[in-house]
Chain A
Amino acid sequence: AQTVTQSQPEMSVQEAETVTLSCTYDTSESDYYLFWYKQPPSRQMILVIRQEAYKQQNATENRFSVNFQKAAKSFSLKISDSQLGDAAMYFCAYRSATSGSRLTFGEGTQLTVNP
């Protein structure tokens, strides 16, 4: 079974600074997808960024980028120029390429952005 681990329960960052959230996963599969989701106080889960395991290039979406290290099974999220609206719980998630829509989530990292 796949597992996802987020070792940082809480992180904080100053507005306009950069922060990196860590995620490691365990799988025996070679084809899978990794995601970072954001859950603000409204509880609405919002996709931040995704990475396909077969792609070597790290995904980037505006101020959000990932560092995907397939051999190390590591998938960290970097948020640049942090904004107050980035404050939320962030979840790392894994989806096998062969198991439909099933997502396996990490425990989450609560990000606080200080003005």
Chain B
Amino acid sequence: KAGVTQTPRYLIKTRGQQVTLSCSPISGHRSVSWYQQTPGQGLQFLFEYFSETQRNKGNFPGRFSGRQFSNSRSEMNVSTLELGDSALYLCASRYNGAYEQFFGPGTRLTVL
């Protein structure tokens, strides 16, 4: 079974731009979660989508948004990028009722 995939793997943007990151979960997994990892703040939960509905949301500004499609693929969007948005963005998927979440390799976003 293929693992969680994230595209693109690396991204460089400038302040004020917007960006869209994509995550394809493991087949059959309907829950997709997003996390931001930075040296200063560590790993922080952004949001979770389940069956195309946002089920959970972390403490991030409205510039961070997401969505999930009927095939469970998810995208997250960051508008009006700031330098502090530079981070590794991790996506994880989980089969409903299972304990384990499986993580993707991440997207490294650099904001200049």
Contact = CB atoms under 8 A, between A and B. Distances in A.
B33 A101 contact: yes
Interface in B63-112: 88, 90, 92, 94, 99-103, 105-106
Contacts of A52: 99
Contacts of B43: 91, 103, 105, 108
Contacts of A99: 56
Range class of the B interface residue count: 20 to 34
Interface in B12-61: 31, 33, 35, 42-45, 48, 50, 55-56, 58
Contacts of A108: 42-43
Interface string A4-40: 0000000000000000000000000000010001000
Contact of A101 (B42, B48, B88): B48
A101 B100 contact: no
Contact of B100 (A42, A43, A44, A50): A50
Interface of A is mostly: loop
Nearest to B32: A101
Interface residues of A, number: 21
A104 interface: yes
A100 B55 contact: yes
Interface of B is mostly: strand
B88 to A, nearest CB: 6
B90 A45 contact: yes
A103 B99 contact: no
Nearest to A105: B43
A23 to B, nearest CB: 14
A102 interface: yes
B105 A42 contact: yes
B50 A50 contact: no
6 contacts: A43-B88, A45-B103, A50-B100, A101-B33, A103-B101, A105-B44
Interface of A: 33, 37, 42-47, 50, 52, 91, 99-108
Interface of B: 31, 33, 35, 42-45, 48, 50, 55-56, 58, 88, 90, 92, 94, 99-103, 105-106
